[in-house]
Amino acid sequence: MRRLGPSWHAWAILTFKSHLQYDAVCRKYGTIARVGPNELVTSSPELLVHMSSVRSKYTRTEWYYRACRHRPDKDHVFSEMDEEKHRRLRQQMGSGYSGKENEGLENSIDTHVSELVQLVRSKYISTEAAARPMDFAQKIQYLTLDVISDISFGKPFGDLRADEDMFGIAESSETGIIIFTYNIALGLYKILHRPFFARLFGPKETDPTGWGRMFANGRAIVRARLALGAQGRSDMIASFIRHGLTEEDILSETTLQMIAGSDTTAASLRTIMLYLMTHPRVYAKLRAEIDASAASGHASGGVVSDAQCRRLPYLQAVIKEGMRVHPPVTIMVPKRVPDGGDTVVVDGKTVFLPGGTNVNCAAWPLHINEDVFGEDAGVFRPERWLLERGEGRLARMHRVHELLFGYGKYQCLGRPIAMMEIGKTVYEVSELRAEFLR
């Protein structure tokens, strides 16, 4: 079936458990295997680095990246297939993402992490008289949406303050993931992105809620900011304007941040906190590190700083380990082999890849690779990042872990923002939970 048609590949995606399907394939057939007539899947970190390096001739595939458009007539940095346009977009947006031209970045994150803590304290503390359960996964989604809307548009949605999905963005994102899955599995974008069907089924700026409402709000904010030029707030939009992005460019990129940035960061936070709650030994050790840091004056007053978080080795190990054992992104992000083919070395064997072949990343087996992370690679054990004695082994672990955010010319621009938000939230929520246990 894998030789004759795309059915198995599509089926794996439609199960919503393709990460497990491809893990099984890689375990049975090795770190590179055929899953369709023109589809390969790989869990080889070396091959993934090779495909995404700055000078690589590999490109994105239409089958996947066209489906990632949220407007059928407009690409963004993740869906752009023209390599030169993609390079230029990354260059124009880099300063806004890194914080170099976004001075209020950390303060924006602090504001909303503080709102999350205050929401829990004021509304969800159970007493002897009444239990007040809280959907933590939902509140984390509110947090990430407020953070990314504040950073992107200069104005948060206000989900945490209202304790509700104010514009239906979270609900639309859940529906959107299902639509996106069918889109990439069955190639439906070729139909749904046609103007008639896009108008009929796609989000519209006249919609009262959901992505359409987000598009409308975003356009109003972007137009107002363009009228001011790069003056006023020193934030992401100002940086984008300064580097020459148009109204449609800015709207497309900020919308991408809303949809992609909030979900992946929320997924990471949910996973990390779940593992902390279900591993008392790890939580106790993290609490001891946080308490010691606070007692020494290295972390005190307000929300912990990003610099303070980075000085806590066990906190960093917990974050790395949580994201490793349950990667926030397990979709395939395929690359196309350049015309003429390419000869690569995978697991010490020379392999020729025909030109035009799509090579998909299997993130799940990549990050529980026993050759990289040890025999207990499938186990949540943060100490592996601190106790590994072999410098070469530890360096390779870090290199593979970095692939969570892509690599080289395709590395996620939002990585610094996500890691800052994750560190602060894990620290503050862990400290908050300790208050309930005292």
Which residues line the annotated binding site for heme?
412
Q: 359 by DSSP, 3-state: which?
A: strand
CB-count exposure of residue 205 (10 Å: 0-12, 13-18, 19+):
middle
Residue 391 tokens read as: 């410098």
Q: How far is Cα 248 from Cα 250, in angstroms, rounded to an integer?
A: 6
Q: Which of 59, 51, 57, 78 is CA-nearest to residue 67?
A: 78
* Cβ proximity of 431 and 290 under 8 Å: yes
Centre a 10 Å sphere on the Cβ of residue 310 and count the other Cβ atoms it contains.
13
* Cβ proximity of 396 and 390 under 8 Å: no
Centre a 10 Å sphere on the Cβ of residue 209 and count the other Cβ atoms it contains.
15
What is the DSSP code string of 403-417? Answer: GGG--GGG--TTHHH
Q: 43 by DSSP, 3-state: which?
A: coil
Q: How far is Cα 12 from Cα 28, in angstroms, rounded to an integer?
A: 16
* Cβ proximity of 277 and 283 under 8 Å: yes
Q: Which of 403, 342, 414 is CA-nearest to residue 369?
A: 403
Q: How far is Cα 368 from Cα 116, in angstroms, rounded to an integer?
A: 32
Q: Which amino acid is at 10?
A: A
* Cβ proximity of 409 and 54 under 8 Å: yes
Centre a 10 Å sphere on the Cβ of residue 111 and count the other Cβ atoms it contains.
16
Would you list which residues are annotated within the binding site? Answer: 412
* Cβ proximity of 81 and 393 under 8 Å: no
